[in-house]
Each structure stands twice: as structure tokens, then as C-alpha cells.
């Protein structure tokens, strides 16, 4: 896949179904989105999930256990088979683009920034006449962070089906909204742990 084609396909796969995602509910814990675009034999797959559904939290990691969980999530998601399975005729190019919040950053700086933000918010609340009780819990509840991964494949014989293996990998996922678009077909389907496979007729 040329860079130009890859960029175009990625833009399409990320943008496709945006209205459907908004209708379904943006950033809903337990619910992920799997988008696929086919251009001839070239296929791009994009996976996006609330971080909470992957590691159990979305706030800045507060201890070594949480930092280790994020790094493990990064290693796990870099393997396409841990997220999605395509027919054997489809071959991965061996590359993946993965974004995991808080990984690869200075967590000390993150904490300082978060603390400064918390102090600022707390002062604002006091100025507004709020007592601030339970503010720390509210902060964590309001933090939203997503994990994202993009994979590229070459499928010379088309794509008869797709299976979301992410359910097996991450027990916090309850539903995955599949949004697939090809040259001659479009598929929008909700996958579940009990029904993780979708037929891609026309792909």
C-alpha cells in the first residue's frame, strides 16, 4: 500500500460511520468501535476503545501496577491477532500504529499537571460556592481516554468474514460496533462475545 493510499484509506476508516458512532454513544465503557476499509486488495483496520475497558481505568496512572498495565496493553494491542482475525488469505504487513494514553510520557510531569489542574478546579469550585467534597472521585469519573490501533493487510482473495478477537483479549468489552466499507459493499453490525464474527458479503 502506497503512503498516499494508506493515508486516504486511514482517513476514510477513521471518519466512516462517525454519525453512527455518535448515535450509538461516544466513549461508552464496554463498547468499542472496529472500522475497516477495503481498497482493492488493500485493507486498513482501525480499533478504538475506552481505556477503561482495556485496563480498568482512564486517569493518569497512580502506581507501578497501573503503569505496568498500560505497557502490557501497548504490547498486547501491537499484535493484530489480539484484536481482529481475518481469513488466512489476508496477510498483515507486520506493522501497527498504536496509541495508548500515558505510555511513553513522563508520568511525574503528568501527575504535576494533573495536580495543578485539580488545585485550579478546586479553587474554582470554592469560588463558585461548592464545598469540593468528593472532588477527587469526580475528577477520575470525568477523565476520558481512548486506546487506538491501526493495522494494514493485503487480501488478494477478498474478505469473506471478520472476527473480533478483542473480546477474548479484553474481558471488559461487551460490544464492538463494526463499520466496514468496501468498493461494492458496506456493513454496519454490532458484535458481542457470543457473536464475534461478521460476514463481509461483497468484500
What are the residue ranges spanned by the domains of the chain? 3-100+146-199, 103-144
Exposed/middle/buried for residue 74 (C-beta within 10 Å: 0-12, 13-18, 19+): middle
Q: Which residues of the chain have pLDDT under 70?
A: 1-27, 104-142
Nearest alpha-carbon partner for 153 in 191, 200, 96, 73: 96
Rounded CA-CA distance 162/84 in Å is 7
pLDDT at site 183? 85
- Given a contact cutoff of 8 angstroms between Cβ atoms, the answer to whether 151 and 92 are in contact is yes
Condensed to tens digits (0 to 9), the pLDDT of residues 160-187 reads 999 999 999 999 999 999 999 998 899 9
- Phi then psi for residue 2, to 5 deg, are -70, 160
Beta strands at 31-39 and 175-181: parallel, antiparallel or unpaired:
parallel
Condensed to tens digits (0 to 9), the pLDDT of residues 29-38 reads 899 999 999 9
pLDDT at site 95? 82
Reported pTM? 0.74
pLDDT at site 10? 52
Amino acid at each position: 500500500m502506497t503512503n498516499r493510499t494508506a493515508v486516504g484509506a486511514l482517513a476514510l476508516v477513521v471518519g466512516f460511520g462517525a454519525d453512527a458512532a455518535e448515535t450509538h454513544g461516544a466513549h461508552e465503557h464496554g463498547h468499542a468501535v472496529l472500522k475497516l476499509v477495503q481498497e482493492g486488495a488493500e485493507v486498513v483496520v482501525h480499533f478504538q476503545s475506552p481505556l477503561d475497558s482495556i485496563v480498568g481505568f482512564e486517569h493518569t496512572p497512580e502506581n507501578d501496577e497501573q503503569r505496568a498495565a498500560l505497557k502490557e496493553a501497548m504490547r498486547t494491542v501491537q499484535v493484530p491477532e489480539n484484536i481482529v482475525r481475518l481469513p488466512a488469505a489476508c496477510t498483515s504487513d507486520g506493522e501497527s500504529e498504536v496509541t495508548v494514553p500515558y505510555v511513553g510520557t513522563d508520568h511525574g510531569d503528568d501527575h504535576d499537571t494533573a495536580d495543578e489542574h485539580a488545585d485550579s478546579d478546586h479553587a474554582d469550585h470554592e469560588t463558585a460556592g461548592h464545598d469540593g467534597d468528593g472532588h477527587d472521585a469526580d475528577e477520575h469519573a470525568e477523565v476520558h481516554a481512548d486506546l487506538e490501533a491501526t493495522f494494514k493487510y493485503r487480501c488478494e482473495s477478498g474478505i469473506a468474514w471478520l472476527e473480533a478477537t478483542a473480546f477474548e483479549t479484553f474481558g471488559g468489552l461487551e460490544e464492538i460496533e463494526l463499520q466496514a466499507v468496501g468498493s461494492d459493499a458496506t456493513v454496519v453490525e454490532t458484535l458481542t462475545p457470543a457473536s464475534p464474527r461478521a460476514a463481509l458479503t461483497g468484500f
